[in-house]
A and B are shown apart, each in its own frame.
Chain A
Amino acid sequence: MSDIEDQLLYTKDHEWVNIDGDTATIGISDYAQEQLGDITYIELPSESDDVEQFEQLASIESVKAASDIFSPMSGKIIETNSELESNPGIINKSCYEKGWIARIEISDPDEKNNLMTAEEYREFLISSG
């Protein structure tokens, strides 16, 4: 079973978000990094760009596949984890901490109602097999 952090909220596309006041830190879940395998490339968004909830935030490539990462919430991008550009494998090693992808300034806190709690995400993973 993949590791799920209790204090985070999750999307059906396996992103996580950690909300702290009006700032949200975004990454991908342990399940997502396991499915992707060794991550070899990430295209980070530009800082100060706006992003809408569930729209593309970044794109990621692994030795197996290329896929998109969607933003769990709407907001303005205030910081990206530029260390990932030269060493994207950090996401495989530490997807919930060192492998965070971007921080945004949240524009609508109510959007968190569209996300899953850790418990709901656990059930979602089980039910989706």
Chain B
Amino acid sequence: MTTEAILKKTPLYEQHVALKARMVPFGGWEMPVQYEGILAEYQHTRRAVTVFDISHMGEFLIEGDCVNSGLDRIFTMSLVDMPIRTAKYGMMLNEHGGTIDDCLVFRILENKWFIVVNGATASKDAHHIQRHINETAQFHDATFEIGKIDIQGPLSRDIMKKLIPDIVNLDYFAFDYFDLLGKNVLVSRTGYTGELGYEIFYPWQDTAILWDELLKFENVKPAGLGARDILRLEAGYSLYGHELSEDITPLEAGLSRFVDFNKEFIGKKALLKQKQEGLNQKLVGLMSESRKSPREGQIIYSQTQKEIGRVSSGTFSPYLNKGIGVGFVVTQEWTLGQKIYFGSPENQVPAQVTGRAFYKQGSIKS
């Protein structure tokens, strides 16, 4: 009972209870894992449109020149070349190249930045950023001032344009400020599902009003973290704590395209060394030959029964009608298409090594 007492509640907690959601602890927050059912919510996101409560994410506002303040050095991607009103994905690393967090950086103005980080790591991230920026920058933690609703699915634009007619002009990974139910708020065309979608950053105390209004539209249903996990795994997105951690570098996680070696950043030296020496392990996709699904922590075996890795995330893929997952595998021990096994010594399930994205047919860029 004591653990429940310290769980944080989002501004939509009452809404979830009223919708009879099953609530679970997630990264220190009490979050909805499902409403009517994980597969139904998954299907509705792929075919129509759903809303997710993502208010547990951390949000920081930073004002300052990104180079002079030291801000740019904190991230693996370059902030310098970002056009205003665009977002960029990347990582913050420790000196050993391990990942402190993955995040989205938004450039609001030439010298004004909005950073969205994982809920479970938000206070660690805030501390890290504040430690590495100098007095020329102002840091503000807005986590408890901003609620966040993701609206995702092929019909999400049709719903959003009823509330914000200008939303139709927003490109993938762009954002802007729009009037939405009387509030001027940041809306970005980003997401975590592989479908067309938007992330809405709304004043904390008014987020429930927006949630209720969105659910009044025909075709809009709520979706929980259970559906979100299947959607992100099919789309090939990493989840911090599974595919990324302080002991995993972006190179091992297969995220080198989000690392810009033409700039300086914390952890660069370690990554260059790792690049030169070669990786010991790398994240790969696993596709089961059956509906039996890989599960986090299971062992990955070569065809010769040699232990070659561990599953970091796994699920049943409704899109492929098969079990899918991702796992870290010893670099020399695999090639794409190779037959492998996952499971335990007693129960090894046949599968194939694949890329990490299983679902590429989505409406994401439509």
Q: Which listed residue, A41, A43, A61, A63, touches B39 by the CB 8 Å rule?
A: A63
Q: A38 to B42, alpha carbons, bound, how many Å?
A: 11
Which of B146-154, B248-256, B287-295 is found at the contact surface with chain A?
B287-295
Most buried by B among A37, A41, A63, A88: A63
How many residues of chain B are within 8 Å of chain A by beta carbon? Answer: 16
Query: Is the Cβ of B226 less than 8 Å from the Cβ of A61?
Result: no
Query: Is the Cβ of B291 less than 8 Å from the Cβ of A37?
Result: no
Query: Is the Cβ of B37 less than 8 Å from the Cβ of A41?
Result: no
Query: Is the Cβ of A63 less than 8 Å from the Cβ of B295?
Result: no
Q: Which residues of B contact A66 (CB under 8 A)?
A: 293, 295
Say yes or no: is B34 at the interface (Cβ < 8 Å to chain A).
yes
Q: A41 to B34, alpha carbons, bound, how many Å?
A: 19
Q: Which residues of A contact B40 (CB under 8 A)?
A: 38
Q: Which residues of A contact B315 (CB under 8 A)?
A: 63
Known: A37-B34, A38-B39. A64 touches B292 (CB 8 A): no
Q: Which residues of A contact B295 (CB under 8 A)?
A: 66
Q: Which residues of A contact B37 (CB under 8 A)?
A: 37-38
Q: Which residues of B contact A37 (CB under 8 A)?
A: 34, 37-38, 226
Q: Which listed residue, A38, A41, A64, A88, touches B323 by the CB 8 Å rule?
A: A41
Q: A66 to B33, alpha carbons, bound, how many Å?
A: 17
Q: A66 to B349, alpha carbons, bound, how many Å?
A: 14
Say yes or no: is A40 at the interface (Cβ < 8 Å to chain B).
yes
B284-325 vs A, Cβ < 8 Å mask (1 yes, 0 no)? 000000111101000000000000000000011000000100
Q: A63 to B234, alpha carbons, bound, how many Å?
A: 13
The residue in chain A whose Cβ has the minimal distance to the Cβ of B40 is A38
Query: Is the Cβ of B38 less than 8 Å from the Cβ of A61?
Result: no
Query: Is the Cβ of B34 less than 8 Å from the Cβ of A61?
Result: no
Q: A88 to B33, alpha carbons, bound, how many Å?
A: 21
Known: A37-B226, A41-B323. A63 touches B38 (CB 8 A): yes
Q: Which residues of B contact A63 (CB under 8 A)?
A: 38-39, 226, 230, 315-316
A32 to chain B minimum Cβ distance, whole angstroms, is 15
Interface members, chain A 78-100 (any B CB < 8 Å): 88-89
Q: Which residues of B contact A41 (CB under 8 A)?
A: 290-293, 316, 323
Interface members, chain A 6-24 (any B CB < 8 Å): none
Q: A66 to B39, alpha carbons, bound, how many Å?
A: 16
Q: Which residues of B contact A89 (CB under 8 A)?
A: 39
B311 to chain A minimum Cβ distance, whole angstroms, is 12
Most buried by B among A41, A43, A89: A41
Q: Which residues of A contact B290 (CB under 8 A)?
A: 41
Q: A66 to B290, alpha carbons, bound, how many Å?
A: 15
B233-246 vs A, Cβ < 8 Å mask (1 yes, 0 no)? 00000000000000
Q: Which residues of B contact A38 (CB under 8 A)?
A: 37-40
Q: Which residues of A contact B226 (CB under 8 A)?
A: 37, 63-64
Interface members, chain A 39-71 (any B CB < 8 Å): 40-41, 43, 61, 63-64, 66
The residue in chain A whose Cβ has the minimal distance to the Cβ of B290 is A41
The residue in chain A whose Cβ has the minimal distance to the Cβ of B227 is A63
Q: Which residues of A contact B323 (CB under 8 A)?
A: 40-41
Known: A63-B230, A63-B315, A64-B226. A40 touches B293 (CB 8 A): yes
A85-125 vs B, Cβ < 8 Å mask (1 yes, 0 no)? 00011000000000000000000000000000000000000
Q: Which residues of A contact B292 (CB under 8 A)?
A: 41, 43, 61
Q: A92 to B157, alpha carbons, bound, how many Å?
A: 33
Q: Which residues of A contact B291 (CB under 8 A)?
A: 40-41, 61, 88
17 contacts between A and B (CB under 8 A): A38-B39, A38-B40, A40-B291, A40-B293, A40-B323, A41-B291, A41-B323, A61-B293, A61-B316, A63-B38, A63-B39, A63-B315, A63-B316, A64-B33, A64-B38, A66-B293, A66-B295
Which residues of B are interface residues toward A (Cβ below 8 A)? 33-34, 37-40, 226, 230, 290-293, 295, 315-316, 323
Given contact pairs A61-B293, A63-B38, A64-B226, enumerate 18 new A-B contacts (beta carbons under 8 Å).
Answer: A37-B34, A37-B38, A38-B38, A38-B40, A40-B291, A40-B293, A40-B323, A41-B290, A41-B291, A41-B293, A61-B292, A61-B316, A63-B39, A63-B226, A63-B315, A66-B293, A88-B291, A89-B39
